[in-house]
Amino acid sequence: MIVDTLIEEGVEVLFGYPGGAVLPIYDALYERRERITHVLTCHEQGAAHAADGYARAARRPGVVLATSGPGATNLVTGIATAYMDSTPLVALTGNVPLALLGRDSFQEVDIAGVTMPITKYNCIVKSPDMIRAGVRDAFAIARSGRPGPVLVDIPRDIAEAPCGAQCEKFHSPGVPVFSGREADEFARALARARRPVLLVGGGVVADGAGVTAAMLAERLGAPVCATLMGLGALPWDHPLFLGMLGRHGLPEANRAVEACDLLLAVGTRFTERAAEDRRQFAGQAKIFHIDIDPAEINKNIPADAALCGRAGAVMEALLARLPTAPREPWGAAFTPFARRAFPEPGTPRALIHTLWRLRTPGMTVVTDVGQHQMWTAQTYGFSRPGELITSGGLGAMGFGLGAAIGVAMARPGRRVALVTGDASLRMNIAELATAAALRLPISIFVLDNAGLGLVRQLQDEHCGGRRFAVAPGLRTDWVRLAEALGARGLSVDGADGSTPEAVIREALTAEGPCLTHCPVDPACNA
Amino acid sequence: MTDRFVLSVLVNNQFGVLTRIAGLFARRGYNIDALTVAETENPAFSRMTVVVGGDDYVLEQIVKQLMKQVDVRSVERLTRKDAIFRELLLVKVGSDPETRQDILALAGLFDARVTDWSEHALTIELTDQPDIITALIDRLRAYPILEICRTGLTAIPRGDTAGAPFALPTEGV
């Protein structure tokens, strides 16, 4: 019944790891193996990140399946990542038979209790008749409104019991709506701004509303900044696009936010990474906030006006109400991202710039977490929503490889470039074996600065340079490690006389997964 | 300005809902002063009455965070003006032949009932508004209070109607 319901929900791929408590589910998957592809990872965390990456790339729920106890707890970081970045993820876990629940049985964990604060919803299915409703609700809740992860915990005997009459799904979530009058007022005030700036966040990317955002910016003559999650909403070469704002953002973007008299923020929650000093952030500006989640309005930054709804729908409603003639942009003093300075040769940013120049059509960029992530966000020119997939809210090192596998499964035939660091990649390197088994076209670029670069940078800035536990002195032969796990290994160290450009070019045409070791200067900061 | 709010929250009568709501308050740093919960006239739902301290920012956030919960059906703010507030007190007071009459008189003054009577103690029961309950406890402090049990607040709107919950306009997906 569980697997049939997944098929009913349109699931084609799921990521997982078997175990005792999910044997009946795996047995059903065996029977339906023509209909639904199961991707076996090396660790449940990898499976959770893969399902997350799949969901972000495919823009529909990703599914992960794990057994009880350790299988379930290994999902936790992946579920939290999806929660913080509002990804629709359905996590199915097995559990011990109903009669053994609560008795500290072998491989028993109260995973519903553990994941309560990091899921949009979760439940334990306690009757076979509720399986279909439970799973269908999970999908409905995960994808509705502001998406998020949902966990369904299924005791083993419930999974294998014969089902009687099935309860229908009972949950019908809605999205917030606004009245025409509210939109009128909002649009009128918007039109009065002399120096508006548009800030696009993950909500614009998730709604695929980049084109609408660009139209709105043109209509308002507003320079555009993006949060990390909002990168790709506007194409890099849009004349109004200034790049990422915030702590690690581009100076132009931050200057525009400081100078504007109205900040129109769409699909962002103003985390402290984007708006570090809440009192001084956009100090001269009225804040106009659009979000699908009413609870984000006034949470971090008080809004002077707000509309709740899907990013695309709200921006279209505003476009319909604004004067049709595009306004002359006021921010001519700001250098658009397209005319940004070329990074200094030999730096990690230059490497990412080269990767960007050599990108293949339809290529997705996945990152891990750290300096390499910030360099990518600052340097790479993204053209479309969903082109960058990164762990923004949770900032989970080890996200990248699993996520890249999920993206590759969601976008078959297209290349995935994983930009990662030596420390991030080491966390879940085993998944390279998964990628190799599937011959996925994932090109991994390890920006190796021999340690935990971003922590080192923080210790230099905040701890008087007292560096500790950031240069583990681990010697990893990345090329041979890649080969050992069944992937190709390359290096841009120039030992064989080839240029970094030639190596990157080769890496981007490799057939299966290919790891490229990119030693970078540990002194470079983000 | 910090204040105390009474929220009446209608939730699905389901396993784990109490934990979920209590957990939400805890992890977002809202202080629960009191919380009562029981099934409603419709067994599919439970009513939670939550007394919570905070300013307007906290109130707005709590209401919105509650309304985001899948199991929350409605959230309503109740005030003393438009709702009846009640709490139950059971208090055990040490007594001897000398003080017994005084304690009984005090209980009588508050319309409280004596529900248990033993050689060295009286147990008094009072259902009333929380401030009256606090007043009785204060008076009883003249005698040794052995144990206090308060249920926390429960409340219902006055008049014919069933109240006007916070509502966010939504439409189907």
Pick from B20, B57, B64: which is nearest to A116 by CB? B20
Alpha-carbon gap, residue B122 to B45, rounded angstroms: 37
Q: Please give the structure tokens belonging to residue B100.
A: 């017994």
Q: With contact defined as beta carbons under 8 Å apart, do A54 and A38 qualify?
A: no
Q: Please give the pLDDT value at position B173.
A: 40
Asked if A298 lies within 8 A of B173 by C-beta distance, the reply is: no
Q: What share of chain A in percent tops pLDDT 90?
A: 87
Question: How close does chain A come to B169, measured CA to CA in Å?
Answer: 6
pLDDT of A237 > 50? The answer is yes
Q: What pLDDT does A188 receive? A: 96
Query: Which of B70, B72, B73, B75 should we substitute to test contact with A (largest number of A Cβ atoms within 10 Å)?
Result: B70
Tell me if chain A has a CB within 8 Å of the CB of B67.
Answer: yes
What average pLDDT does range A54-63 have in this prediction?
97
The answer to whether the beta carbons of residues A375 and A388 sit under 8 Å apart is no
**How far apart are alpha carbons B83 and A123 in whole angstroms?**
34
Q: Which helix (H) or strand (E) holds B26?
A: helix B17-28
pLDDT of B2 above 80: no
CATH of A341-519, one of 3.40.50.300, 3.40.50.970, 3.40.50.720, 3.60.20.10: 3.40.50.970
Matching CATH number, A180-338, of 3.40.50.300, 3.40.50.1220, 1.10.357.10, 1.25.40.10: 3.40.50.1220
Mean pLDDT of all residues in chain A? Answer: 94
The reply to whether B60 touches chain A by the CB within 8 Å rule is yes
What sign results for the dihedral spanned by CA atoms A407, A413, A414, A419? positive
Between chains, do B169 and A141 touch, taking CB under 8 Å as contact? no
pLDDT band at A74 (very low <50, low <70, confident <90, very high): very high
For residue B24, give how far its alpha carbon lies from the nearest alpha carbon of chain A (Å): 7
The H or E element spanning position A152 is: strand A149-155
Q: What is the mean pLDDT of residues A34-59?
A: 97
Is A65 part of the contact surface with chain B (CB cutoff 8 Å)? Answer: no
For residues A165-189, average pLDDT: 81
Give the three-class secondary structure for B94. Answer: strand
CA A101 vs. chain centroid, Å, equals 34
* SS3 state of residue B4: strand
Q: How many Å apart are CA B13 and CA B132, to the nearest integer?
A: 31
Note whether B171 contacts A: Cβ–Cβ < 8 A.
yes
Q: How many CB pairs under 8 A join A and B?
A: 56
Interface probe for B, chosen from A141, A299, A300 (most Cβ of B below 10 Å), is A299
Measured between CB atoms, does A181 come within 8 Å of chain B? no
Would an 8 Å CB–CB cutoff place B56 in contact with chain A?
A: no
- Taking an 8 Å cut-off on Cβ atoms, the answer to whether B169 and A178 are in contact is yes
Gap between the Cα atoms of B157 and A479, Å rounded: 71
Q: What is the DSSP letter of A304?
A: S
Interface probe, candidates A86, A95, A114, A116, chain B, greatest B C-beta count within 10 A:
A116
Does the beta-carbon distance from A175 to B65 stay under 8 Å? no
- Compare all CA atoms of chain A with the CA of B28 and give the residue at the minimum distance: A117
Question: Given CB atoms, is B105 within the 8 Å cutoff of chain A?
Answer: no
Q: What share of chain A is helix, strand, coil (3-state, %, to 5)?
A: 40, 15, 45
Please list every residue in chain A whose beta carbon sits closer than 8 Å to the beta carbon of residue B18: none
Considering only the beta carbons, identify the residue of B27, B169, B173 that sits closest to A173: B173
B61: chain A residues, CB-CB within 8 Å: 295, 298-299
Q: If residue A462 lies in a helix (H) or strand (E), which one and from where to where? A: helix A453-462
Q: Are A241 and A340 in contact (CB under 8 A)?
A: no
Provide the token pair at A144: 């509705």
Q: What is the dihedral of CA A500, A396, A394, B68, to 10 degrees?
A: 120
> Could you tell me which residues are beta bridge partners of residue B166?
B75
Is residue A63 within 8 A of residue A17, CB to CB? The reply is no
HEC secondary structure over A195-261: CEEEEECHHHHHCCCHHHHHHHHHHHCCCEEECHHHCCCCCCCCCCEEEECCCCCCHHHHHHHHHCC
CATH of A2-160 given 3.40.50.2300, 3.40.190.10, 3.40.50.970, 3.30.420.40: 3.40.50.970
Measured between beta carbons, the chain A residues lying within 8 angstroms of B16 are: 112, 116, 123-124
Task: List pLDDT tens digits, range A185-223.
Answer: 999 999 999 999 999 999 999 999 999 999 999 999 999
CB A388 within 8 A of CB A56: no
Q: Does B22 touch chain A if contact means CB atoms closer than 8 Å?
A: no
Tell whether A124 lies on the interface with B, counting CB pairs under 8 A: yes
Predicted pLDDT at A192? 94
Question: Which residues touch A412 (CB under 8 Å, ≥6 apart)?
Answer: none
Interchain CB contact of A32 with B (< 8 Å): no
Closest to A373 measured CA to CA, from A489, A467, A478, A248: A248
pLDDT for res B168 = 60
Give the domain ranges of chain A.
2-160, 180-338, 341-519
Asked if the domains at A2-160 and A341-519 fall in one CATH topology, the answer is: yes
Report whether pLDDT(A457) > 60: yes
- The distance of Cα A490 from the centroid of its chain, to the nearest Å, equals 27
Q: Across chain A, which distance is largest between two alpha carbons, in Å? A: 70
Instruction: Report the residue from A116, A171, A295 with minimal CB separation from B19.
Output: A116
Q: How confident is the model at residue B147 (pLDDT cuts 50, 70, 90)?
A: very high
Residue type for A135, please? V
The pLDDT value recorded for residue A517 is: 97
pLDDT reading at A515 higher than 50: yes
Report the pLDDT value the prediction gives residue B162, as an integer from 0 to 100: 66
Report the share of chain B in percent with pLDDT over 90: 76
Note the pLDDT of residue A58: 96
Say what the pLDDT of residue A176 is. Answer: 81
Per residue in A129-149, pLDDT (tens digit) is 999 999 999 999 999 999 999
A406 compared with A475, residue with greater pLDDT = A406
Average pLDDT, integer, range A226-236:
97
Token output for A337: 């991202």
Determine whether the interchain pair B68/A172 forms a contact, defined as Cβ–Cβ distance below 8 Å: no
Q: Does B104 touch chain A (CB under 8 A)?
A: no
Prediction ipTM score: 0.88
- Residue A120 sits at the chain B interface (C-beta within 8 Å): yes
- Token readout for A373 is 């992530």
A256 near A281, Cβ under 8 Å? Answer: no
User: Cβ contacts (< 8 Å) between A151 and chain B: which residues?
Assistant: none
Of the two residues A525 and A431, the one the predictor is more confident about is A431
Q: Which residues from chain A sit within 8 angstroms of residue B27, using beta carbons?
A: 117
Rounded to a whole number of angstroms, the distance from the CA of B40 to the nearest CA of chain A is 20
Chain B residue closest to A121 (CA)?
B70
Sorting pLDDT into bands at 50, 70 and 90, what band is B88? very high
Instruction: Name residue, tokens 């090329």.
Output: A479
Residue range A74-101: average pLDDT? 97
| Of A56-60, A125-129, A388-392, B160-164, minimum mean pLDDT range | B160-164
CA atoms within 13 A on the CB side of A202: 25
What's the distance, Cα to Cα, between the start and end of chain A in Å?
50
Average pLDDT over every residue of A313-327:
95
Q: A125, A177, A301: best mutation site toward chain B, by most B Cβ within 10 Å?
A: A177
Across the interface, whether the CB atoms of A179 and B60 are under 8 A apart is answered no
Phi, psi of A339, deg, nearest 5:
-105, 20
Q: Is the pLDDT confidence value at B16 over 90? A: no
Judged against a pLDDT cut of 70, whether residue B57 lies above it is answered with: yes
pLDDT one-digit tens code per residue, A330-367: 978 899 999 988 899 989 999 999 999 999 999 999 99
Find chain B residues with C-beta within 8 A of A144's C-beta.
173
